[in-house]
Amino acid sequence: MSRANIERINEILTAASNDGRLATCQDKNLRRACGRLVKSCKLVMPYQGMFAEKARWDELEMRQQAKCIIKSLAAAHPSWIFCCHSAAVVYGLEVSASKLRHVHVVGTREPCGIVYFHNTKHVEAELVDGVLVTTLERTVCDCVRSNGFRYGLATVDSALRAFQLDPDEFRARLKTVCKAVNNGQFVLDVFDYGDGRSENGGESYARAVMIENGVQLPNLQVELYDEVDKKTYRIDYGWQLKKGYVAGELDGAEKYKSIAKDRGMSVVDVIREERRRESRCRNKGMLFARFTFAQAVAGRPLLSILDACGVPRVEGANAIPIMRGAG
């Protein structure tokens, strides 16, 4: 491959990467050259005719990869309106990783590779980060109907958190959309459990499991003061019980990686800090209920941990939203 072609491909790749897109080549010779680089594992082709450097692509989280593909398709098809989980990705809402494998677009065409078309009527669109997407309320509505209660609650929480929405005002907007779709009442019922204080999808999912099983609803992001460090810390969940205070924490490698990145620390140092904080809280008589996302998904392990800490459960205490028929 000529030096000129290599330099031109690198220019195209850099420009696309800086714009959060995949690279495309109009020149046939450059496209063929990119194809050879894919075979040699120097480039990847996440979508037909669209390329990225493999090293950079592998560094991206799955959500970032999904958004990159969406922005690339939006540039190639300016009239497309992205909907459901794809619109949620553009808005920055929580979406189940399993829903990121496909791109969702308003239309009546047959599926084309990873692109699914939805025959959505009377759709309104907004331009967000250079991409035409369904309105926020329509996006939330479609995601909740598609995902069910647990992941649907994560989408609702993230919308309230990311956009600092007034719950009553947004519910009114959501209600207008829900009148015209199947399971609209289900969406509103899920929304009524929404809480923007939940910091990530895992916390929302675990809370949904608690709700489903009649667990006393916790306070969220409770602040605790450490007299030794003279710092205020936050815990994911908190229950003030007669016998004392129970602190609930969602554990996991991704959580510690995120904290480490935000604070400019190593993951090991973050874990050590967490353990010191927990030790001091225990010295005050607090009980700690630590659990993983996998335990929340399984359900029974999470409930057993909460039961062991004395967190009350009252059967039928929470009215669980029910989806009826097809979404």
Structural domain boundaries in the chain: 3-59, 65-191, 216-308
Task: Please report, rounded to a whole number, the percentage of residues in the chain having pLDDT higher than 90.
Answer: 72
C-alpha–C-alpha distance, residues 293 and 14, integer Å? 37
Mean pLDDT of 276-295: 84
Phi, psi of 70 (to 5 degrees): -60, -45
C-alpha–C-alpha distance, residues 158 and 129, integer Å? 18
pLDDT at 74 over 90: yes
In this structure, is the dihedral angle defined by the CA atoms of residues 40, 44, 48 and 50, taken in order, positive or negative?
A: negative
Question: What pLDDT sits at residue 325?
Answer: 62
Q: Between helices 201-212 and 136-163, what is the axis angle to 10°?
A: 100
pLDDT tens per residue across span 189-242: 999 999 999 999 999 999 999 999 999 999 999 888 777 777 788 889 999 999
Among 39-43, 113-117, 225-229, 291-295, name the one with the lowest average pLDDT.
225-229
pLDDT at 252 over 80: no
Q: In what helix (H) or strand (E) does residue 280 lie, and over which residues does it extend?
A: helix 267-283
**How confident is residue 327, by pLDDT bands cut at 50, 70 and 90?**
low
Mean pLDDT of 250-265: 76
Angle at 295 between CA 284 and CA 279, to 5 degrees: 20
Instruction: Record the pTM.
Output: 0.89
Three-state secondary structure call for residue 45: strand
- How many other β-carbons are positioned within 10 Å of the β-carbon of residue 275? 10
C-alpha–C-alpha distance, residues 23 and 189, integer Å? 43
pLDDT tens per residue across span 108-123: 999 889 999 999 888 8
Question: What pLDDT sits at residue 311?
Answer: 96
